[in-house]
Each structure stands twice: as C-alpha cells, then as structure tokens.
Amino acid sequence: MAKPLALTTGEPAGIGPDITIKAWLRRDELNLPPFYLLGDRDLLAGRAGALGLKVKLADVRAEDALDAFADALPVVSTGHKATAEPGRPDDTSADAAMASIRQAVSDVTAGRAGAVVTNPIAKNVLYRAGFRHPGHTEFLAELAASGGQPPQPVMMLWSPALVVVPVTIHLSLRDAVARLSRELIVSTARIVVAELKTRFGIARPRIAMSGLNPHAGEDGTLGTEDQAIVAPAVEILRGDGIEIRGPLPADTMFHEAARKTYDCAICMYHDQALIPVKTLAFEDAVNVTLGLPFIRTSPDHGTAFDIAGTGRANPSSLIAALRLAARMSAAQR
C-alpha cells in the first residue's frame, strides 16, 4: 500500500505554506498523491487566512494522514512553533525549519512515509542559527548517515523536458574546477545510473557527459581537464557497461534534437547544468537528491519572501515534486 509523503514546512516566512495550501486545495482536480505537512498548525491557519483561502486542517499522526487527506490537510506537529510573518523570518524560523526536515527523514526511515518532499529553506536564516551545511542536499546526507559515514549526495534537476546532474554542486567556479576529479565523476555517474534504473524505471539509461571547457577543451587547446579528467572517467564508465557519450561541448547539448538522445546530462559544475533546465522548465523542474537511502524531492525555487502571503505564489513546482516523489516511490516498490 502506498504511504503518504512527508512534506516539510521549509522557511515559515517564505512561500512554503502558501504553495502547500494551494496544492492541497487542488488535490482532487490534479489527483495528487496524499501528503502531510510537518510543522505548526497555527502557522498554516494564519497563512490561509492571509491568503483568503478556506482550508480544513487536521492534527494527525503520520500513520493517520492517509485517512485524513481527502477531507483535510493533515498536519503533523514537530513540537516547534513558527511565528514568522510572511516575508519576515524571526527567531523561530530556523528551529522550525530544521525540526521539520529531521522529522521527515525520521518518518521515512521508520516507514511512516514513502518519501521526503521539502519546501524551500532560507540558508542565510539557518546560518545565523549555526547551520553549517551548504544546503538541503548536504544536511540530508548527514541525517542519512545515522552516525556513520555520510553517503555521497547527488543533486538532480528533473523535468519532462530535461534531466541534469552537476558533478560539483555548491562551490565557487574556482573551487569547482579544483574539486573535479575522475573519481568524483565516476562515483556521481554510477549513482545516477543506478537510481535511474531503480527509482525511475529506466532499464538502460543513456548518459550524455559534458566537458568542462568550451568545446570540451578543443583537443587540449582550451584547457587540458577534458582530456586528463573527463575522458578517462567516461572510459571507466563505458567499462562498467554504461551507455555514455562524452566529453561533449556543453553549448550543443541542450537543443531539442540533442535532448532526445539521452536520459540524463551530467555536467561539471552547478550553472552548466542548472541554467538550461531552469530556462526550459522553470515552473515545473524538481530538485531530486540521489544517493540517499530514501527518496527526496523539492520544488526548484527559493523562498520568494517578496510574494509570501500575497497569493501570487505558483504551486506548480511543488505539485511536480509531489508527483515525482510518488512515482519514484512506486518504482522502487
């Protein structure tokens, strides 16, 4: 039997509460998978009032969320109050956001939920409270470690138009180039291929590997990294039996005809991967963390403090994240 999805509050002062309410109100129209919000019921009730939306809320345990979902938005308390006003994070924001993430991971690990779906966080707010991770991805890897060695988290941006993975994630361009290695490329690609098979149901994934430099280095005249690092990694992966091409010039990888030739593009650094997918699918791209012992998806946008509580927030990316989490969970089962 399918389990409900555990949805985190995210930054309480951001648009997470707005898009959560809007998504639940469209549950029947869009046939959404059941989910519950981990957070503060009073915060959600206040935001619904600010938006002028009528929504029935139900205080439940995670185990009871499926039964409640049809008639009320299920809310599972984390025990942390969130008093932040829209667009104005306060001292409760960080504790509420982090408690929601920890509880979501705990619920999935314990079998109470089928996947984690995270609303956007404000990292600058968390940093002031002592948060030491570059982002959600790295924090989730630590939570998955359970005292042992953290797994290698891999960030995927998924959309119907394009699926991309950056090998290096939240690093400056200078540090990304220094960090790049054939070992990192190989381990990242192996995780991607394994999860495309087990969680996306693709029997033989086709991978396109970008080069680092313009024109993939132009035979070494525009940089030697593609010959020395990327090409050897591709050969190792071919030796694994993986269907992979590269290193390819990144500027010709993302037009329509090229996209039809692969299931996932693996790129060398953050913007090389994220600029094309956000250009093609800004409203419905989903952030997926691979390499974890549980499924995690998230809307591919930020907290949008400037429109929180105004009614202008678009729930499309959250809806896509919920649907993809349910699809991945079903494929894994």
Which of 56, 63, 61, 64 is closest to 76 using CA atoms? 61
For residues 144 and 151, is the Cβ–Cβ distance under 8 A?
A: yes
Q: Are residues 141 and 196 both part of a single domain? A: no
Residue 195 lies in a domain: yes
Q: Are residues 11 and 70 both part of a single domain? A: yes
Residue 264 lies in a domain: yes
CA distance 41 to 77: 7
Q: Are residues 253 and 313 both part of a single domain? A: no
Domain count, the chain: 2
For residues 169 and 271, is the Cβ–Cβ distance under 8 A?
A: no
Which of 70, 116, 78 is closest to 96 using CA atoms? 78
For residue 254, which amino acid is it? Answer: F
For residues 267 and 273, is the Cβ–Cβ distance under 8 A?
A: yes
- What pLDDT was estimated at residue 282? 86
- What pLDDT was estimated at residue 149? 79
CA distance 284 to 297: 12
For residues 285 and 159, is the Cβ–Cβ distance under 8 A?
A: yes
Q: Are residues 312 and 244 both part of a single domain? A: no
Structural domain span for residue 254: 161-277
- What does the chain come to in residues? 333
Residue 301 lies in a domain: no
The residues pairing with 289 across neighbouring beta strands, listed in sequence order, are: 155, 296
CATH for 180: 3.40.718.10
Q: Are residues 12 and 135 both part of a single domain? A: yes
Residue 244 corresponds to which tokens in the numbers above? 């992979």
Instruction: Calculate ∠ Cα 6-147-185, nearest 5°.
Output: 80
Residue 293 lies in a domain: no
Q: Are residues 84 and 175 both part of a single domain? A: no
Residue 229 lies in a domain: yes
Q: Are residues 114 and 236 both part of a single domain? A: no
Residue 296 lies in a domain: no
pLDDT digits 0-9 by tens, 219-244:
999 999 999 999 999 999 999 999 99
CA distance 318 to 284: 8
Q: Are residues 165 and 270 both part of a single domain? A: yes
Please, what is the end-to-end C-alpha distance for the chain in angstroms?
10
Sheet holding 73-77, edge to edge: 57-59, 73-77, 35-39, 5-8, 116-117, 296-299, 286-290, 154-158, 163-166, 264-267, 206-210, 243-248
- What pLDDT was estimated at residue 145? 80
CA distance 47 to 169: 33
Residue 31 lies in a domain: yes
DSSP string, 232-277: HHHHHHHHTT-EEEEEE-GGGSSSHHHHTT-SEEEESSHHHHHHHH
Residue 212 lies in a domain: yes
Residue at a domain's end among 257, 277, 297: 277
pTM score over 0.85: yes
Give every residue of the chain whose pLDDT is below 50, as ranges.
none
- What pLDDT was estimated at residue 147? 64
Query: What is residue 44's three-state secondary structure?
Result: helix
Q: Are residues 88 and 19 both part of a single domain? A: yes
Strand ranges in the chain using DSSP code E only, listed in sequence order: 5-8, 35-39, 57-59, 73-77, 116-117, 154-158, 163-166, 206-210, 243-248, 264-267, 286-290, 296-299
- CB under 8 Å to 87, separation ≥6 — which residues? 13, 305, 306, 308, 309
As a three-state string, the secondary structure of 186-239 is: HHHHHHHHHHHHHCCCCCCCEEEEECCCHHHHCCCCCCCHHHHHHHHHHHHHHH
- What pLDDT was estimated at residue 2? 83
- What pLDDT was estimated at residue 146? 67
Q: Are residues 30 and 81 both part of a single domain? A: yes
Q: Are residues 268 and 184 both part of a single domain? A: yes
Q: Are residues 43 and 17 both part of a single domain? A: yes
